[in-house]
Amino acid sequence: MSRSQLDRYHQLTSLIRQRRGASREFLQHELGISRATLTRYISELRDIYDYPIRFDRGIGGYVWEDKGYYRGRDLPGVWYSEEQIHALLAMDALIQDLSPELISRTIQPIRDQLSKALESASAKPDELRRRVKLISTSRRKLLGAYFPELASAIVTRRRVRMRYYARIRDQESEREVSPQRLINYRSNWYLEAWCHRAEGLRNFSVDCIRELNVLETSCREIPLDVLEQQFDAGYGLYSGPETQWAKLRFTVAQSRWARDEIWHPMQRGTVDAEGHWVLEVPFADVQEIQMEVLRFGPSIEVLAPAELRDRVAKTLGDAARQYKIKRLKK
């Protein structure tokens, strides 16, 4: 059996099981095959693999009739799609990133299940991990000792008291917070919580938590739609309800790559008359998008807003002066 035919068998089986009454026309369209080929595939699945598939004339489609006693043969192993491989390996990578202690205590059984899911006719899990890599960038060291407690507090809806180090102020502070969500963003973990000292929603880098204790006090509940409006509306984690739009223009050479990048689900982009990719992207705090713009150096220009353009220009000017002032000794 060819790989393409095996993939179609798996897809056909999945469509029939998920959609009660899958019509012939629907299956032909989804699989890109003729009616004769569809009929042959279904006959082979019935006769060779003993799959409980039948055509229901009442609803005009194929149905899967597993009444609890199905003992048919399994199809050969699946080669996962790009999206499925990425999802499975992403889960595996996230688990590995937590900490060795956490993996050994509670997560290893889940990794074992992922290993079984990654098994295919083409590669064993360890071999697949070596040949398909997810490279994390700018990942900070995670203090994994507190991750299980945070996750538990979120699930049980309990407050935590923590000693937190704020990098921007270079200070530590004691805080009592009601955890709401854990977010993994750009390979780093963040806690979204209601801070009872500040009386507002705040983001906390998990790697900056120095001490943490789970309290018996119940969390202050914040509706998920409020969290989504506060944190998800703007660009990245530096987000909030007051969203602005940045307008960015890439050089013609950089545009070949930039127009295929997704900065934000709501972004807008056009190619101008000179071949420049002009990107419009929402953001709520200027700090993170400024950092994103700076990584492109001279290959990008901020057209709007003026505040972002001025900040980027000042930072680039300061960097240029630093290289002029601090000449390396030969």
Q: Do domains 3-64 and 144-232 have the same CATH topology?
A: no
| pLDDT tens column, 13-44 | 888 888 778 899 999 988 889 999 999 999 98
Class of domain 144-232: mainly beta
| pLDDT tens column, 239-260 | 556 678 999 999 999 999 999 9
- Beta-ladder partners of 23: none
Whose CA is closest to 61, among 28, 37, 33, 36?
Answer: 28
- What's the average model confidence in pLDDT over 65-71? 57
Domains of the chain, by residue range, sit at 3-64, 82-131, 144-232, 244-324
pTM of the model: 0.55
State the fold for domain 3-64. Answer: Arc Repressor Mutant, subunit A (1.10.10)
| pLDDT tens column, 88-143 | 666 666 666 555 555 545 556 656 666 666 564 445 666 666 666 656 665 565 55
Both tokens assigned to 259:
């127009």
